[in-house]
Copies of this chain bind each other. A is one copy, B any other.
């Protein structure tokens, strides 16, 4: 077992991200942390656990037991949503809110978001909306949620028109991460998380070096578990950027590296592609286009392709998806999705472009130039 790490995010009122292997199985330790973070010594404060049908059976009982260990009655119950991206809807959000109301939660109570990115985003939004906002503690259980969505206060559900179009910025009161739970995560989910870690590698030279070290020995195409140190380092990149620009008016846009083309591909695949795989394809599209335009050395593209292969991620849209008659990956279809993206801004789109290994910058690109990049890079 490795030692825990604590990182401080200064967005919102400020909060801590704690990585501690074995955290969830350590009942007294977890109880102490929950009591301190949620103020459970106040006898009128309760917490409700929001989780999904995969994670709930594994861990909700342990978290609930830890709550009850702080004080009988400190748990208000468990709300379970069906596992999967299909649950990230306004309808499911309202179901959770009605369930919170039927548990008679008050403004002093809190939500514990226990699960992957969908649970974190949806439960975070439910907490932000219930009675105009109650507190939320994030307990991410997927690699993607640990390194990305649980930190930074972005909450959302999807609209018909596009991903994450309905949401708010609302910082959690804390993030508790037990990397041990990754041992039960399916390989696809591990790869998905690597997609975001490789994104951080595109923004930070130290992460890039660590990613090379950890993926280097991997020849199987089955991604290894990242070390606790690399998870912490990834979160640290996000922490630094979010602390500087909570509401994405500047530096935070960097975190969207690979996300504009990536979201378009993800939506066009109707979520047959994981988020991490989509971001991987998105980064590859941009890098390939910039290499072909002579703006980046070919070695950067080859390096990216090698890392993606080692992490079990695709570099481009898999042939079996391209062959499906019900999916449309045409440039026009992708542009139509991208124009709905939050990053679009009238006459063009704010793209994050790689400029060197471990470095990227935000540039506003016209729709014509973005089209040309998709044509060259896909």
**A340/B104 in contact, CB under 8 A:** yes
**B159/A101 in contact, CB under 8 A:** yes
Q: Which 5 A-B pairs have the closest CB atoms?
A: A44-B346, A101-B161, A131-B342, A90-B94, A132-B167
Given the contacts A101-B159, A101-B340, A168 and B133 also touching, CB distance less than 8 Å: yes
| Chain B residues closer than 8 Å to A107, beta-carbon distance | 342, 345
**A169/B342 in contact, CB under 8 A:** no
Chain B CB within 8 A of A367 CB = no
**A94/B132 in contact, CB under 8 A:** no
Interchain residue pairs with CB less than 8 A apart (21):
A44-B347, A94-B166, A97-B165, A98-B159, A101-B159, A101-B161, A104-B339, A106-B342, A106-B345, A107-B342, A107-B345, A108-B345, A129-B167, A129-B168, A130-B165, A131-B167, A132-B156, A132-B167, A133-B169, A133-B247, A168-B168
Chain B CB within 8 A of A87 CB = no
Chain B CB within 8 A of A184 CB = no
Closest to A340 in B: B101
| Chain B residues closer than 8 Å to A254, beta-carbon distance | none
In the complex, chain A residues 330-378 whose Cβ is within 8 Å of any chain B Cβ:
339-340, 342, 344-347
**B342/A108 in contact, CB under 8 A:** no
In the complex, chain A residues 42-95 whose Cβ is within 8 Å of any chain B Cβ:
43-45, 90, 93-94
| Chain B residues closer than 8 Å to A290, beta-carbon distance | none
| Bound form: Cα–Cα A90–B90 in Å | 8
Chain B CB within 8 A of A162 CB = yes
In the complex, chain A residues 81-127 whose Cβ is within 8 Å of any chain B Cβ:
90, 93-94, 97-98, 101-102, 104, 106-108
| Chain B residues closer than 8 Å to A108, beta-carbon distance | 345-346
User: How many chain A residues have a CB neighbour from B under 8 Å?
Assistant: 41
- Chain B CB count within 10 A is highest, among A45, A166, A339, for A166
Q: Summarize A's interface: helix, strand, loop or mixed.
A: mixed
| Bound form: Cα–Cα A43–B342 in Å | 18
Chain B CB within 8 A of A154 CB = yes
Other-chain residue from B97, B101, B345 in contact with A44 (beta carbon distance below 8 A): B345
| Chain B residues closer than 8 Å to A45, beta-carbon distance | 346
**B132/A342 in contact, CB under 8 A:** yes
| Chain B residues closer than 8 Å to A161, beta-carbon distance | 98, 101-102
**B162/A101 in contact, CB under 8 A:** yes
Closest to A344 in B: B106
> Known pairs A44-B345, A129-B166, A130-B165. 13 more at Cβ < 8 A?
A45-B346, A90-B94, A97-B165, A98-B160, A101-B340, A102-B161, A104-B340, A106-B345, A107-B342, A129-B168, A131-B342, A132-B154, A133-B169
Chain B CB within 8 A of A128 CB = yes
Other-chain residue from B97, B132, B160 in contact with A169 (beta carbon distance below 8 A): B132
**B168/A132 in contact, CB under 8 A:** yes
CB distance from A337 to the nearest CB of B (A): 11
- Chain B CB count within 10 A is highest, among A45, A131, A159, A160, for A131
